[in-house]
Chains A and B, each alone.
Chain A
Amino acid sequence: MSDDGALPPDDVLAGRLRKGDESAFEQVLDAWSASMLRLARSFVSTDASAEEVVQETWLAVIRGIEGFEGRAALKTWVFRILVNTAKKRGMKESRTLPFGSLTFDDEGPTVDPSRFRPAGDPYPGHWLADRKPQRWSDPESAAERAEIGRVVAAALAELPDRNRIVITLRDLEGYSSDEVCELLDISHGNQRVILHRSRAAVRVKLEHYFDAERGIHRGL
């Protein structure tokens, strides 16, 4: 899970929320709402709808905090409510998320097969010398870091919804594989296939960016 900075331990936090401690509520609201928005956005069709899902979730948290038993982490409990709320809303908007089964799009290689030596070559399946991955430079300035961030955000936006949901939970929110499988009710195998494809797709966009950069530096 992501680092929530100065948040107190769950039992303390839940106790404060139950007692109506407004600053504790403000803390969790500010610490988690951004992640919740991002996650909700993948289930519903508009930003406004995502914000409503987050609001509805927090209202359910306020009403239900008495019933929080501490069997899961408080944040996981909140995110489960979010996912359920978002799924319901998504269904109303006729968006379906077939998490249960993989599709044709989930199969096949994640790296362009033309980058490898063909069958019949002495080293089939190995990188072709001129298509081998090149080392990426470290960003040299804040502007370059921001540019890289834009490339990644655009790459995520282009992913199919469920791919975006899985990579967001794993790599942005830092959930473990077990937690994601439980939250989304998918198998470990499917979760990993979706995650791997998503990461590979984002990597390709970054590779294009770094290749273009290298071209510029070589004066091409």
Chain B
Amino acid sequence: MDCDEFVELVTLFLDGALDAATEQRFVDHLSLCDGCDAYLDQFRRTIQTVGELPPESLSAPARDKLLSAFRSWQR
């Protein structure tokens, strides 16, 4: 496997969606190629960092409105 093929397969690999033969070639390449090992690592870091973004929240008036809607709907 070449590096330019490897970089396009990372999401499939992480989803466990590569067929067995391609996964084998992917892993073999990973064991031999420092650049692709770093690339995979960077991809994982990217996913992790996206997952750590702080949440936005509903405005206080909207929240109050919904709580009172819940109260009145349920009588």
B45 touches A (CB below 8 Å):
yes
- Interchain CA distance A20-B70 in the complex, whole Å: 7
User: How many B residues are at the interface, by size bracket?
Assistant: 35 or more
Residues of B near A200 (CB, < 8 A) are: 7, 43
Are B41 and A135 neighbours in the complex by a CB distance under 8 Å? Answer: yes
Residues of B near A174 (CB, < 8 A) are: 51
Say what secondary structure dominates the interface of chain A: helix
Residues of A near B47 (CB, < 8 A) are: 171, 199
A160 touches B (CB below 8 Å):
no
Looking at the assembled complex, report how far the CB atom of B31 sits from the nearest CB atom of chain A, in whole angstroms.
Answer: 15
Are B55 and A35 neighbours in the complex by a CB distance under 8 Å? Answer: yes
User: How many A residues are at the interface, by size bracket?
Assistant: 35 or more
Looking at the assembled complex, report how far the CB atom of B69 sits from the nearest CB atom of chain A, in whole angstroms.
Answer: 6
Are B46 and A199 neighbours in the complex by a CB distance under 8 Å? Answer: yes
Looking at the assembled complex, report how far the CB atom of A115 sits from the nearest CB atom of chain B, in whole angstroms.
Answer: 9
Are A54 and B67 neighbours in the complex by a CB distance under 8 Å? Answer: no
Q: Which residues from chain B sit less than 8 Å from chain A, CB to CB?
A: 2-5, 7-8, 10-12, 15, 17, 33-36, 38-39, 41-43, 45-47, 49-59, 62-63, 65-67, 69-71, 73-75
Q: Contacts A111-B39, A203-B46 given; 8 further ones with Cβ under 8 A?
A: A26-B67, A30-B63, A37-B56, A116-B4, A132-B35, A171-B50, A171-B51, A195-B11
